[in-house]
A = this chain, B = another copy of it.
């Protein structure tokens, strides 16, 4: 009986249409004061494409591809800025207002005096993508195998892979993700062209260029973009004042010695949430393995005099965090941990 009441409540929490629109957003009481604000692009290349490749809208010619969109906010205090780098099948949106309408890390970091640069990875969101092969295959001018791979997570996969519950509609008892807003999380999903981008991913260089152009920044990545700050530092470390990797999906444990030497010059923080041992539902992918690799990487860095730290939140008494830490109910508490680390590791 009691179980059936709980199931019914959960059903309503999860399946009653939850439209995240303006009416569900909780505004802050204090105004947000920005010294400057705007957007621009980093990187990109100008290429020539045929009319066919351009979707037959007018004659062929040049277009820009592989650019990276950057939206920024800078407060008067102007502490070292953060570049927020989203994960797989998401965009810069994931750092903004949370799915249940609370303040995102973008706004919180600014309110704490840090400039914030929110990017869309090359190939996604306002960065756009190279459409040429899709148009060519449609008209028969290219083979089907040249089409890009466009990845998305299903809502069902998200429950376990984002560690919101032990299974679909079965949240962990102390879950920190606001499960009433699962629909609003689903709606943030966009197709992910990472697998079909040029190699190396143009986002790496765009990030290192960005850090240099803004005279120094901390690169903060999440999930699929986990190792991007490391890759950016290996392109050009000049502007990279620190690296924060939140729940990185894949971090290499086989960097060359000269690469480790370079990375050891930069303060590095890695943060993981709870329930790492769960089966993700993604073949050959385990958060526990990602975490263990990060411990190995940290040890490699610290063994040569570097400054890398891994925080596993449950070990410091913070339980129930999902993979989407920046959207969890205690998101600002975790942001403070990152900001305190930054303060102590300049």
Indicate whether A87 reaches chain B with its CB closer than 8 angstroms.
Answer: no
User: Within the oligomer, what is the number of copies of this chain?
Assistant: 2
Instruction: Decide: B187 and A41 in contact? CB cutoff 8 A.
Output: yes
Collect the chain B residues with CB atoms within 8 Å of residue A36's CB: 25, 27-28, 32
Which one of A16-24, A257-265, A323-331 is at the interface? Answer: A16-24
Q: Find A38's partner among B38, B55, B104, B188 (CB 8 Å cutoff).
A: B104
Which residues, 96 to 134 on A, are CB-close (under 8 Å) to B?
96-97, 101, 103-104, 107, 120, 125-129, 131, 134
Indicate whether A42 reaches chain B with its CB closer than 8 angstroms.
Answer: yes
The CA-CA distance from A285 to B193 in the complex, in Å, is: 33
Collect the chain B residues with CB atoms within 8 Å of residue A209's CB: 21
Instruction: Decide: A44 and B213 in contact? CB cutoff 8 A.
Output: no
Contact code string A30-48 (vs B, CB < 8 Å = 1, else 0)? 0111111111111010100
Instruction: Decide: A150 and B135 in contact? CB cutoff 8 A.
Output: yes
The smallest C-beta distance from A17 to any residue of chain B, in angstroms, reads 9
Collect the chain B residues with CB atoms within 8 Å of residue A42's CB: 19, 21
Q: Find A152's partner among B54, B161, B192 (CB 8 Å cutoff).
A: B54
Indicate whether A151 reaches chain B with its CB closer than 8 angstroms.
Answer: yes
Q: Find A140's partner among B54, B67, B144, B188 (CB 8 Å cutoff).
A: B144
Indicate whether A138 reaches chain B with its CB closer than 8 angstroms.
Answer: yes
Instruction: Decide: B96 and A39 in contact? CB cutoff 8 A.
Output: yes
Indicate whether A296 reaches chain B with its CB closer than 8 angstroms.
Answer: no
Contact code string A212-242 (vs B, CB < 8 Å = 1, else 0)? 0110000000000000000000000000000
Instruction: Decide: A187 and B44 in contact? CB cutoff 8 A.
Output: yes
The CA-CA distance from A134 to B144 in the complex, in Å, is: 9
Which residues, 142 to 183 on A, are CB-close (under 8 Å) to B?
144-145, 147-157, 161, 183
- Please judge, given known A-B contacts A91-B126, A126-B92, whether A281 and B153 are in contact too, CB under 8 Å: no
- Please judge, given known A-B contacts A21-B213, A120-B126, A147-B137, whether A189 and B32 are in contact too, CB under 8 Å: no
The smallest C-beta distance from A324 to any residue of chain B, in angstroms, reads 16
Collect the chain B residues with CB atoms within 8 Å of residue A40's CB: 20-22, 24-25, 97, 101, 184
Indicate whether A69 reaches chain B with its CB closer than 8 angstroms.
Answer: yes
Collect the chain B residues with CB atoms within 8 Å of residue A91's CB: 126, 128
Instruction: Pick 27 A–B contacts, CB within 8 A, sort by A.
Output: A21-B40, A22-B213, A24-B40, A40-B97, A41-B187, A44-B187, A54-B152, A57-B151, A58-B157, A58-B161, A60-B154, A63-B153, A63-B189, A67-B187, A69-B93, A71-B96, A91-B128, A93-B126, A125-B125, A126-B190, A128-B190, A129-B190, A131-B150, A135-B147, A137-B137, A138-B144, A138-B149
